[in-house]
Amino acid sequence: MVHPRSWRVAGGALTALFASLTLLAGDAMAHGVAESDKAYIQAHPGANIIPYTYLGAKHMVTGYDHLLFLFGVIFFLYRLKDIWSYVTLFALGHSTTLIAGVMFNIHANPFIIDAIIGLSVVYKALDNLGAFPTLLGFQPNQKAAVLIFGFFHGFGLATKLQDLIASRDGLFANLVSFNVGVEMGQVIALSIILIAMTFWRRSNSFARSAVAANAILMSAGFILTGYQIAGFFTEQTV
């Protein structure tokens, strides 16, 4: 049984993470684009390498759904080699669907895509809790799952960029710049998470708090999913 203090420690850690992400996010909620960024981009058609690189980095650093998923992915990864392997798969997945989705103008309802992204957080928490052998009778391939969910994370980025881009002039250069920015932001955010995780793992509370932390992470994923589903049905009734 997990000690109540472990729940408090885990809850405090994730609450701090949420608070930090909320402060960083400002008016850029989840996959949303800040109105000031949107106005600037739409007022400057053509290739804008630096602005799009900045926008990509900002989106990743403030994209709490991405960061919660990555937090779950690296939760029990201790070797840099393993962390690099999983993060590379995630980057490959979201880069592919980000560029393809915008270049080929593939549309999907953003609420549905973001709901699946919320479920990716739930999946990773359940995986960390060792739930799948009990629930399904087998362990899903963890690397394949990270790659597949990476596709959905990238497609979520694409749905928002499709609303942002007013001109296809310089589109490919802008997409590559945005994706480079996303990767830069991912490195920055992941470095901060890893530093925090390293200190937490060295404390006596980590082993006691691991179950509680992933239970809270799973709850956060369900909340994100529920929020998007509610948005979908609200959109249908308007």
Mapped onto helix, strand or coil, the DSSP state of residue 190 is helix
Average pLDDT of span 73-82 = 95
How far apart are the C-alpha atoms of 199 and 194, rounded to whole Å?
Answer: 9
Number of domains, the chain: 1
Per the structure, the complete domain to which residue 118 belongs is given by 4-237
First to last CA, the chain: 47
41 — pLDDT class (breaks 50, 70, 90): confident
> In this model, does residue 81 exceed pLDDT 50?
yes
Model confidence over 126-176: pLDDT tens digits?
Answer: 999 999 999 889 999 999 999 999 999 999 989 888 877 767 888 899 999
When pLDDT is cut at 50, 70 and 90, the band that residue 51 belongs to is: confident
Give the tens place of pLDDT for each residue, 172-220.
999 999 999 999 999 999 999 999 999 999 988 898 899 999 999 999 9
The helix/strand count (H/E) of the chain reads as 10, 0
Residue 19 in this model has a pLDDT that exceeds 60: no
Helix (H) or strand (E) holding 128: helix 110-128
Where does residue 132 rank: exposed (0-12), middle (13-18), buried (19+ CB within 10 A)?
A: middle
